Amino acid sequence: TGSSRPQRMLKAVQKNATKGDPQSVISAIDHYCRHKEWAMNVGDDKGLILDSVLTEVNPSTALELGTYCGYSTVRIARLLSPGSKLITVEFNPAFAEVARQIIAYAGLQDKVTVVEGPSGDLIPKMKERFGIRYFDFVFLDHWKDRYVPDTKLLEDCGLLKKGTVLLADNVICPGAPEYLKYVRNSAHYESRYYKSNLEYTKVEDGLEKSVFLG
């Protein structure tokens, strides 16, 4: 059988990026997805907003829900300070495998742990399995109907602290209306929308940044 889109994306990285250079990996994926075949990476436009929020938060511990091929994993990990850790959750083994190779190609494997399985099962195990007390930063980019249940689960598991920043992709397209209602109407979050566009297109999309108030 032929290759998959993630496998073709990996090939494009191996062909066009420089090993150990995260920016070249990001550029190779963006070029491939803009000119060859679209893929659901957060992309370069929203990626700049992700970069700026991340630089502002400078997290010691970060969580990503929905690794896919590892594009945003590389964007996040490349900006982490020494000693900081990123845990990324992906339930599709084929995607997880491609992501591990893209993360390793960028030279960021020591900062990132790719965990395979459904977020709903893994979030309650973060403390015992990874020694995580709190997450300083959470990037939500998995199934859009899981944003609310997983946010509630993070709260219930005591994994958010005062000041933890949640950043959610696709709140306009494909959309996460329940999530926007939840974080915008809750007294426990201070929420703000960053308008942008859907990766590699002119369609509107954006990121919602929500600070947990405790």
Ligand X SMILES: Cc1ncnc2c1ncn2[C@@H]1O[C@H](/C=C/CNC(=O)c2cc(-c3ccc(F)cc3)cc(O)c2O)C[C@H]1O
110 counts as catalytic: no
Does 44 help bind Mg ion (rule: CB under 5 A)? no
User: Residue 213 CB, nearest distance to ligand X (Å)?
Assistant: 26
Nearest C-alpha neighbor of 46 from the set 148, 162, 184, 139:
139
- Choice among 41, 170, 205, 208 that is catalytic: 170
Nearer to Mg ion, 134 or 146 (CB): 146
Q: Does 169 bind Mg ion (CB under 5 A)?
A: yes
- Known catalytic residue at 170: yes
Q: What angle is formed at CA 175 by the lines to CA 174 and CA 176, rounded to 5 degrees?
A: 135
Q: Each residue of 89-124: b (16+ CB within 10 Å) or e?
A: bbbeeebbbbbbbbbebbbbeebbebbbeebeebbe
90 touches ligand X (CB under 6 A): yes
Residue 167 in contact with residue 53, Cβ under 8 Å?
Answer: yes
Site track 115-154 with Mg ion (rule: CB under 5 A), x = hit:
--------------------------x-------------
Q: Which is nearer to Mg ion, 44 or 134 (CB)?
A: 44
Name the residue type at position 116: E
Q: Is 46 one of the catalytic residues?
A: no
Asked if 144 is an active-site residue, the reply is: yes
**Cα–Cα–Cα angle for 202, 99, 141, rounded to 5 degrees:** 45
150 is catalytic: no
In whole angstroms, the minimum distance from the beta carbon of 112 to ligand X comes to: 15
- Of 30, 44, 64, 169, which is the active-site residue? 169
> Pairing between strand 61-65 and 135-140?
parallel
Residues 122-141 that bind ligand X (CB under 6 A): 141
Q: In whole angstroms, what is the distance from residue 89 CA to residue 118 CA?
A: 7
Q: Which of 32, 91, 134, 147 contacts ligand X by CB under 6 A?
A: 91
Q: Which does 142 bind (CB under 5 to 8 A by kind): Mg ion, ligand X, none?
A: ligand X
Q: What is the DSSP string of 175-189?
A: I-HHHHHHHHH-TTE
Q: How many Å apart are CA 25 and CA 5, to the nearest integer? A: 16
Tell me which H or E stretch contains 209: strand 204-212
Nearer to Mg ion, 30 or 141 (CB): 141
Q: Which residues bind ligand X (CB under 6 A)?
A: 40, 66, 68, 89-92, 95, 118-119, 141-143, 146, 169-170, 173-174, 198-199
- The residues annotated with a catalytic role in the active site are 141, 144, 169-170, 199
